[in-house]
Structures are given as structure tokens and as C-alpha cells.
Structure 1
Amino acid sequence: MAYRVVAAVLVAAWLFPALAEGAVRHYKFSVVMKNMTRLCATKPIVTVNGTFPGPPLYAREDDTVILRVVNHVQYNVTIHWHGVKQLRTGWSDGPAYVTQCPIQPGQSFIYNFTLTGQRGTLLWHAHISWLRATVHGAIVILPKLGVPYPFPKPHKDVIIVLGEWWKSDTEVVINQAMQSGLAPNVSDSHTINGYPGPFPNCTSQGYTLHVEAGKTYKLRIINAAVNDELFFKIAGHNLTVVEVDASYTKPFTTDTIFIGPGQTTTAILTADQPVGKYLIAISPFMDTVVAVDNFTASGFLRYKGTHAFSATALTAMPPQNATPVTNTFTESLRSLNSKQYPAAVPLTVDHSLLFAIGVGINPCATCVNGSRAVADINNVSFVLPTTALLQAHYYNISGIFTDDFPGNPPIPYNYTGNTTTNFQTTNGTKVYRLAFNSTVQVVLQGTALLAPESHPVHLHGYNFFVVGRGVGNYDPLKDPKKFNLVDPSERNTVSVPTGGWTAIRFRADNPGVWFLHCHLEVHTTWGLKMAFLVDNGKEPNQSILPPPSDLPQC
């Protein structure tokens, strides 16, 4: 039913453009349990409208989305509209205990936001505990009517959602890990549009992309995985990247997409190979000792006219530790930076921050080894409050948080060196305060404590420009001289290289409380997160809007 409604809305938009400009799109998401069979076993999972992945959300740039979420499961629920800037509408952003209290069982909440100045591919997902393992879907933002793509219009749009599948209940997995203090189990397989493909000792269903020779297809690739950065390839075919995180890029061609959790990549596929069947494959990237699900999920690209029992053309996936492949892809990304879509990179910086991110160990009397794994930014392992931060800020409720989050590590050290001490972190609910319209540079510095690894970091409420990256410790004197301030990639989620750093810049022109966290769910759970508090501006349209009347209560 949801798909038919969406189709009708889009047809109406094309036929009656005067009526559709700045339209209001109404959706209803029912969060329900549904039995799903994968890897030759059936289990109940939390879904939206009974589907996995969940239904795509379609709208146009400048449309308003009014979406009612009804919670029919036993868990508390929130939905985050990942990458939507939420200008002045932070109440609809979705992270539990940051911008809202969760929607309790039997309750509902209406998310209301406008898609201002954005077009492309994003995603939505649950933002509480590990429910996003199965509660996720695509957001497709079409250009305003009459505005063409900055590339030839393809024959067809295709949504490809990458994910993970656990044979166990993910809520049990993370709860057991938190009680034991040990790292949680990894997933049992990856998925392409909900299916793992052939699996050892199990004939599992796979995803098939049907194409016609000579035609072009826009692939909206979304990484909704919980804990894995991924490689994506189609045997025998190149892909031309034209957009990431709902921001247009200078087109470039590659045979391998590198995509972190929470990231999206839109690429043009030309069906230019002989008629036949070709492997679509995803595999994990991890260039350190951390365990990941190393199963290569697969699907098929099938040309019209392919014989029923045709052999499949195969492809070799990059090694799991293929750092050069990730570097080549990342360094190829550039903002389109055209007259219509300029790259408004802040050239001056009001707040220059260094965030050392990593994993540590804290004492735990009830844990298996007398300690537990934790994660932190600048030695602060973030503790979510029991009253939402935005609510506490808006109503000036004291005692919920402090605005003294450290802008630099309290004690500088050799971040990427072999450190064997100071694994313990402090716990706190601290935010970093920003004046409206101030400019911010954050250097996300990876560390070598315990287990160095690549961290995909997501900032809510904003896009940012990735102005620099490197290996080792950031050098504040030398490295800024190499920054790209002309056409850096514009993103909402960026991977910080293992044993290295990434520098991002943004302008704090959206008032509210905005979460920044690692999008590896295990690290978010362990505390690798913080929040920016952006004060209201002086003009009437520079203040956060009042909270909705149905805002959930804690």
C-alpha cells in the first residue's frame, strides 16, 4: 500500500507541477514484529510496515514530510532521518535521549520536517539500542520540479540497501555484551536489499538487478550495516559516482565503491556488457585486528534475454585490509562546486577542535574480567541522560548536562603510538557550546589505544566539508597547508582512517542539540559520542521551533 501511495504522489507531481511544488508528503510507519527467514532459519524481527529493509521515503527538495510512527512492539523506538539537516526542527531528528525521549510501546509520534536545500539519497533508521539492524530504509529526495540532474538522466532508479543479518536477536547480543563487558558477537552475514545470497550449507535467496543492454541505471547505494564498512562491486562493470550523502560530486569512474555505515553513494551503471548474468558482491573492510563478519554477500545483475542456466561472471573482491582501495576511492571524491551547487567551505575558523577518538577499558566489578570495553572522545565516554538533551536545553532544566565538553584531549599524547597505559576514561554527559553561525573545524584523530581501526563518524543536523585527512598524528602547523578549501567532498558521515585523522569544517547555522558519534553501533553503545549545543541566533528564523504537542515523555 505504501508503495502505491508513493507512486501516485510522484505521478501527480509530474502531471500537476503547480500543485506539487513544496508539497506535503504524508507517511505512516507502523513498527511491528515480523517473522523473516534468512540463512535457512526463521526468527521474529522488528520492522517498519512488515518489510526488511523498510519502505523507501520519497519526496522532492523543499517538500515537507509529515510521518506518523506507531510503536506496536515491546521495545522503545525512535527513527532518525539520517542526513536530513532538520533546520530548526531538531525535535524530529530522532536520536533517543538527545533530541527526544523514545516512543514507548503502544504510543506514537509525528515527525515533521522540511527537506531544505537537499537532493539525492539518504537513509532512515532506528536510533536506539541496536534496533537499526532491521529498522532502516531509503530516503530518496528528487530535485525540484523542472531542475535537471547535473548528469544525463538515467533510464531507471534502483535502490540498493546493504546490511547485516544476525541469527540471534541483536538486542540479546548487545545486552549480553554490556553485562559481560566483552565485545559483542559479529553478524552472521551481510545482505543486499535484505538477502545474503548463497550461504554455506544453505540455499539462501539473493537479490537480482534486472537490466537491458545499452541502458543506464542510477544505483542509490546505502550502507545500513550496524558495524561494518563495505566494498561494493559488480562483475565486469564500472560505476560512475555522481553523489554522496545527498551532495553532488564531480563524476568519477571506479570498479569498487567503498562505503561506511550511514553513508550513501549514488552511481551510474551503464549496461554495456554482453547479455548474461554478473555477480554483485559486498565484503567488509577492516585493516586492523578487530573481528568483523567476513562473509561476502552476493546478488546478481541479469540482462534481459539471459538464458535460464547461464554461467555467472565473477569478480574478485578487495582483500579485507585493502587500505589502498579505500584511499583511492576517498581521495577521488570532490564536491561538484558548480554555480548552481557551490561548495561553501568556511575559510576562517572560530572553533578549532581536536577530538581524539578510540577504545579504552574501565573497571567493572560485575563483568567477566573485572573490566569492560568502553569508547570515548577526548577521554570522555558519553553517558546518555534520562531526559532528552534538547528538552533540557529548551526548557532550561538543570542537572541534565554540562556545556564543558573538552575541545582538545585533556592530556596530549602520541595518539597513534604504542601506548600501554591510561586506558581508563571518564564518564559524563557534556556538550560543546557553539554560537549561532560560528565556524567550526574538527580534527577527528584516531588513536592506537587497544584496537586502532577506521571510525565512520556521523554529525547530525549538518553537512560538513572533508578538508583534509592523513596517517599518523595531525600536525597543526604543516597539515592545514595541504587542506582542500576549494572543492572538498561534502558529507554527513566520514571515515577516519586507522591510525590517522580527518579534518572537517561546517558553519553552525542550525540551532539545537546535535549528536556526533561513531556509526559503528558497538562504539556508540560504548560511549564514542558527544553533542554540540548550537545557540539561537538573533533573528526570528534563527531559533529552534517550539516542541510538538505529542513529543514523547521519558
Structure 2
Amino acid sequence: MMRYILITLLVAFSAGAAVIESLVRHYSFLVVLKNETKICGSKFITTVNRKFPGPTLYAREDDTVIVRVTNRANHNLTIHWHGVRQLRSGWADGPAYITQCPIQPGQNYVYNFTLHGQRGTLFWHAHISWIRATVHGAIVILPKLGVPYPFTNPDKEKIIILGEWWKGDVEDMVQKSLVSGLPPTVSDVHTINGHPGPVHGCATNGGFTLHVESGKTYLLRIINAALNEDFFFKIAGHRFSIVEVDASYTKPFETETIFISPGQTTNALLTADKPVGKYLITASPFMDAPVPIDNLTATAFLRYKGTPKNPTIVLTQVPAQNSTLLTDRFIDSLRSLNSEEYPAKVPQFIDHTLFFTIGVGINPCETCVNGVRIVAAVNNVTFLMPEIALLQSHYYKIRGVFTEDFPGNPPFVFDYTGKPPANIQTTNGTKVYRLRYNSNVQLVIQDTAVIAPESHPIHLHGFNVFVVGKGSGNFDPIEDPKGFNLVDPVERNTFGVPNGGWTAIRFKADNPGVWFLHCHLEVHTTWGLKMAFLVENGEGPNESLPPPPRDLPRC
């Protein structure tokens, strides 16, 4: 049996007695297919360094991170460093056929990027097809040495990763879905740090337990690594103080329930101030649309030091699956810290005003079961993945890979949240939208009722965005901007567009390259709910995309 060995190196450079805070962090990722872990009937899963979830990357603000990825799986693979801004390091961003061609079986690729001005919790995951179901892990970015958190210093920190599990092979399932034109099957269970809790037919190995000591405060770094599920996260009898989302500090607020969408991270302070005992932890799904989901609740336990061997478990009530008011309350409570040290640099003047509609449609399909295939689109364009990475074709000026005619507004206007148009067919294309370097962008994304309205977590690569407004119904370009928050809106890399509503964001296009925008529900991304921005070079080398590394994979 082949042995897989991981050596994680933490290399610090110093000169004499001086302490240099900016370090180079070296990691080795070995992606393997055959993992002996058997959960819920699965025989083999794809993992990194034989771990599920995968290893955690630790770094500090402004560190340079170098990760060598060796692909020993039997399929192509890339790794995306979700939420890392990748300032002028787009070659390391990771989405397949957007910034790089995949790492083929038996090949290596070195990801090299610097964490410019970032600190907090992010995560990494595979970014090709549905492999990220098991190929994902946490990124912990600590503040610079000597710089405190802008909140109560915790006694300890814990990582909690929420996910989904399929008993069968997810790649096989997706391929069958694409051939048949039918939706893929929903997951079999949800997981907390790789464990579903006591579910019939699933080996839990005791499940996950969060061990705490009375009187101590814990910083929980919570990550939603699920493919298609929003979650409510609760711990019986305890409250959280929210201090950060998507590696951006927030004004603290207290809550009993955390709402977190796929691709989002939340840092919460938890004080162990309850009687010694065992408390139920739950991760339950949210869905306020008539869409099939895995409705099982993942469970774990918080256990105080000194708790008797077989204590009575303190239970909690799981929120209703369609608790839209609860999600709105949580989202509306989020505000940027906007302090002198951590200001909210919201663009005040806009150069590009964009309006995107998102939703699903139906296109003809000769090979499909019903003669049609469910698709998804942005401004009625279903994105077709190219055969050469967009960033490579842009840098080398390879023609015929993409066009620059992505519409900045819907090609036709209708009642987006009312009666859908008679023709729900979309157009197909590999289109990008060009942005001037350093221009300020305002983008409103509108959910549509074509087939069915649904909430969408939208992720923009290469940037953080300010969520300046959201609302229900159709966006009113005259009245709704009057209510925009341009002072302390929450700063995120993944933001929600509500069911039958809209969300407005602003960002500065200060990162040259090609940057993916897509729904972080993997089913919608697979169906084509994605597009890309092409940000032009500025003036001089410090504002331009550098050449690609020599080991960049070839298509």
C-alpha cells in the first residue's frame, strides 16, 4: 500500500536580532483519491493529505503563502483560495478554465500568493466540478505580530466546518445529471467537522465534540463548505457575539442563531458561562423556496470539562426551514467595524453602473430525458466554460476563447419577480465584462421568478465588496438607492441575493486580471450561473498583471 507523507514547513527569516513579521509559509498538498475513511456507505473519497476536512493553513496578515499541490487523484483538479484577494496574483486564484487549466493526474502546481492587508477566517476548496464536497479546509490569517484583535481576546480558538455528504460518487452523479437534463440528487447528510451526528446508516465515530472549560471565551471560526445548503448554526443554551464575516471585522452583536451560506465564513465569540454539562450543537438547512434539499440536521456536542460520563443532554429548538425573517434579521445586523484602524472604504462615486438578473431557464437538449435541460443564467447568458483558461487567453491575446460583450443590463425587461416570460430559453456564450483599472463599480443583482425564485450566495473572486443595500421585489433604480448604506455596510466576498429580491454591492476594480463571479450553490454554477470580469491593467508594472509562472498547467 502506498504511503502518503505530508511535511508542513513554517519558515521564518530573520536578520540579526530583528524580528521580521512578514514570513513565507510553505505547505505541501497531496491530493489523493483512495481514502480508507468510510462514512455513510461511501467507499472512497477524494481528500488532501488523507484528511476530511483537509489541513488548515495558518498565516499572518501580509505573509506570503506557497503551496505545492501534487495531484494523485484520477481526475483533473484545481485549488481555490476562497476570499484571498490575490492582488496581482490571479494565476494563483484557482478556478478551472478561468485563471488556470487544471492540474492533471500526476502533475504538480505551486500556488504563490501574498495575504495583502487580510486577516481572519477564509477557506480553500477544489474549484472544478463538485470535487470540493470533500476537498476543502480552513485558512486562518492571524493579525500581524503584536496587533490585537479589535474585540475581547479569546482564551482559545476553534475551527468548525459545515458541509454535505453524498453516499455515492458526486462526480458520477453530476455527469449523469448533465446527460439526463435532470437536477442532481441532493446530499444524504450534513456534516460538522466531517461528522453528521447520529444518522441511521452513517458511521459517526462518536461525532464531533467541542470541548470547553467554564469561564473561558472561545473564538469559533465557522465555515460553510457545503455545496448547496444554507445553514442555521446553534448551540443549546448559548449565545454568540459576531465579530467578523469573510475575514472582515464587524461591529459586534449578539445572537442565538448564526445564518451562513455556502462560501461564507463567520467568526463568533462564545463564552462558556453555563452549568457544566453536555449541550447539543445543530446545523440545520434554510430554504424558503419550493426546491428539494437535504432536510437532515447535522448534530454535534459542546461538552464542559468536568461533565459526568453520561449526562443529560441540553437540547435546542431548530429553526423552521423557511425562517426568512430569521435570516433577514441576522444579515441586517451585519455592519463593518468602520473604525479609524479598519475603515470601510465604500466607493462614493460610481464609474460603472451594472444590473444583473439571475435565475434558471430551460434549453433544448436532444440527448436529455425530456428533450430539455435545466440551465441557469446571468442577464440571460448561460456561461459556457472555455477549453483554454480565460486569464491565459487574455494575457497571450489568444482569439476566439471569449468575447467582451457581456451585457451590463438585462437584454430584455420583464416583471422579474412576477409572471415569467413565455420564452424561458437562455443564450449560451463565454462572455466577459471589461472594467477600467481603479474604476468604481456598482452592481445590483436581481433574483428572478423564472421557474421559481430562490436565494443565491454570490461569490466574486479577486475582490471584497460592500453590500450597500438589499430588498424584496423588483429593484427600483430611483427610490431604492436612497436607502443605500454608504457609511458602514458589511464587507464580504460572498453575499446573498434574497429569494424574489435584489442586492446591491460596490467595489473598486483595483486588481488587474480575469475574475470569476458565480453563484456558490454548486448546482447553479454547473447550470451556468456565472460570468467573469476582465479588469484592465493600470499604469506601470505595479498596476499590471505579471507574467504567468513557468509551471502553470497546460490545457
Residue 102 (structure 1) aligns with: 102
Residue 117 (structure 1) aligns with: 117
C-alpha distance in structure 2 between counterparts of 1:13 and 1:316, whole Å: 51
Deviation of 1:419 (Å): 1.4
Assess if the C-alpha contact under 8 Å between 2:39 and 2:202 holds in 1.
no
- The residue matched to 2:27 in structure 1 has which SS? strand
C-alpha distance in structure 1 between counterparts of 2:24 and 2:356, whole Å: 39
Q: Structure 2: 5+ residue runs without aligned partners? A: none
Within 5 A, what are the aligned runs for 1:469-488? 469-488=470-489
Q: How many pairs does the alignment contain?
A: 549
Q: Structure 1: 5+ residue runs without aligned partners? A: none
Residue 227 (structure 1) aligns with: 228
Residue 346 (structure 2) aligns with: 345
C-alpha distance in structure 2 between counterparts of 1:163 and 1:44, whole Å: 17
C-alpha distance in structure 2 between counterparts of 1:25 and 1:222, whole Å: 22
- The residue matched to 2:91 in structure 1 has which SS? helix
Assess if the C-alpha contact under 8 Å between 1:244 and 1:264 holds in 2.
yes
Residue 524 (structure 2) aligns with: 523
Task: Letter of the 1:132 partner, please give it.
Answer: R
Deviation of 1:200 (Å): 2.8
CA RMSD of aligned residues (A): 1.6
Assess if the C-alpha contact under 8 Å between 1:257 and 1:329 holds in 2.
yes
- The residue matched to 2:69 in structure 1 has which SS? strand
Query: Do residues 178 (structure 1) and 190 (structure 2) align?
Result: no
Task: Letter of the 1:474 partner, please give it.
Answer: F
Give the direction of change, closer, same or farther, for the CA distance of 1:3–1:263 in structure 2 (3 Å limit): farther
Give the direction of change, closer, same or farther, for the CA distance of 1:37–1:461 in structure 2 (3 Å limit): same
Residue 277 (structure 1) aligns with: 278
Within 5 A, what are the aligned runs for 1:350-499? 350-419=351-420, 421-499=422-500
Residue 137 (structure 1) aligns with: 137
Task: Letter of the 1:56 partner, please give it.
Answer: T
Task: Letter of the 2:253 partner, please give it.
Answer: F
Assess if the C-alpha contact under 8 Å between 2:6 and 2:28 holds in 1.
no
Task: Letter of the 1:366 partner, please give it.
Answer: T
Assess if the C-alpha contact under 8 Å between 2:6 and 2:30 holds in 1.
no
Assess if the C-alpha contact under 8 Å between 2:109 and 2:552 holds in 1.
yes
Assess if the C-alpha contact under 8 Å between 1:237 and 1:269 holds in 2.
yes
C-alpha distance in structure 2 between counterparts of 1:26 and 1:3, whole Å: 12
Deviation of 1:464 (Å): 0.2
Provide Cα deviations, 1:145-173, integer angstroms capped at 9, x if missing partner: 11110011100010000000000100011
C-alpha distance in structure 2 between counterparts of 1:101 and 1:267, whole Å: 37
Provide Cα deviations, 1:431-479, integer angstroms capped at 9, x if missing partner: 0000000010110100001121100000000000000000000000000
Task: Letter of the 1:92 partner, please give it.
Answer: A
Query: Do residues 250 (structure 1) and 244 (structure 2) align?
Result: no
Within 5 A, what are the aligned runs for 1:305-344? 305-344=306-345
Task: Letter of the 1:95 partner, please give it.
Answer: P
Q: Percent identity?
A: 67
C-alpha distance in structure 2 between counterparts of 1:342 and 1:19, whole Å: 28
- The residue matched to 2:46 in structure 1 has which SS? strand
Deviation of 1:203 (Å): 5.9
Task: Letter of the 1:53 partner, please give it.
Answer: P
Deviation of 1:204 (Å): 2.6
Give the direction of change, closer, same or farther, for the CA distance of 1:294–1:77 in structure 2 (3 Å limit): same
C-alpha distance in structure 1 between counterparts of 2:168 and 2:202, whole Å: 17
Deviation of 1:175 (Å): 0.6
Task: Letter of the 2:459 partner, please give it.
Answer: H
Assess if the C-alpha contact under 8 Å between 1:2 and 1:55 holds in 2.
no
C-alpha distance in structure 2 between counterparts of 1:148 and 1:4, whole Å: 30
Residue 191 (structure 1) aligns with: 191
Provide Cα deviations, 1:249-291, integer angstroms capped at 9, x if missing partner: 0000000000000000000000000000000100111001001
C-alpha distance in structure 1 between counterparts of 2:474 and 2:310, whole Å: 54
Task: Letter of the 2:230 partner, please give it.
Answer: E
C-alpha distance in structure 2 between counterparts of 1:451 and 1:292, whole Å: 15
C-alpha distance in structure 2 between counterparts of 1:202 and 1:517, whole Å: 33
Give the direction of change, closer, same or farther, for the CA distance of 1:489–1:17 in structure 2 (3 Å limit): farther
Assess if the C-alpha contact under 8 Å between 2:8 and 2:28 holds in 1.
no
- Farther off after superposition, 525-534 or 197-206: 197-206
Residue 508 (structure 2) aligns with: 507
Deviation of 1:545 (Å): 1.2
Task: Letter of the 1:106 partner, please give it.
Answer: G
Within 5 A, what are the aligned runs for 1:530-541? 530-541=531-542
- The residue matched to 2:336 in structure 1 has which SS? coil
Assess if the C-alpha contact under 8 Å between 1:3 and 1:55 holds in 2.
no
Deviation of 1:37 (Å): 1.8
Deviation of 1:4 (Å): 8.3
C-alpha distance in structure 2 between counterparts of 1:367 and 1:17, whole Å: 68
- Farther off after superposition, 200-209 or 92-101: 200-209
C-alpha distance in structure 2 between counterparts of 1:536 and 1:268, whole Å: 41
Give the direction of change, closer, same or farther, for the CA distance of 1:250–1:2 in structure 2 (3 Å limit): farther
- TM-score normalised by structure 2 residue count: 0.97
C-alpha distance in structure 2 between counterparts of 1:17 and 1:268, whole Å: 36
Residue 27 (structure 1) aligns with: 27
Assess if the C-alpha contact under 8 Å between 1:355 and 1:377 holds in 2.
yes
- Farther off after superposition, 200-209 or 259-268: 200-209
- The residue matched to 1:35 in structure 2 has which SS? coil
C-alpha distance in structure 1 between counterparts of 2:113 and 2:312, whole Å: 48
- The residue matched to 2:70 in structure 1 has which SS? strand
Residue 43 (structure 1) aligns with: 43
C-alpha distance in structure 1 between counterparts of 2:110 and 2:190, whole Å: 32
Deviation of 1:301 (Å): 0.1
Give the direction of change, closer, same or farther, for the CA distance of 1:145–1:360 in structure 2 (3 Å limit): same
Assess if the C-alpha contact under 8 Å between 2:283 and 2:298 holds in 1.
yes
- The residue matched to 1:44 in structure 2 has which SS? coil
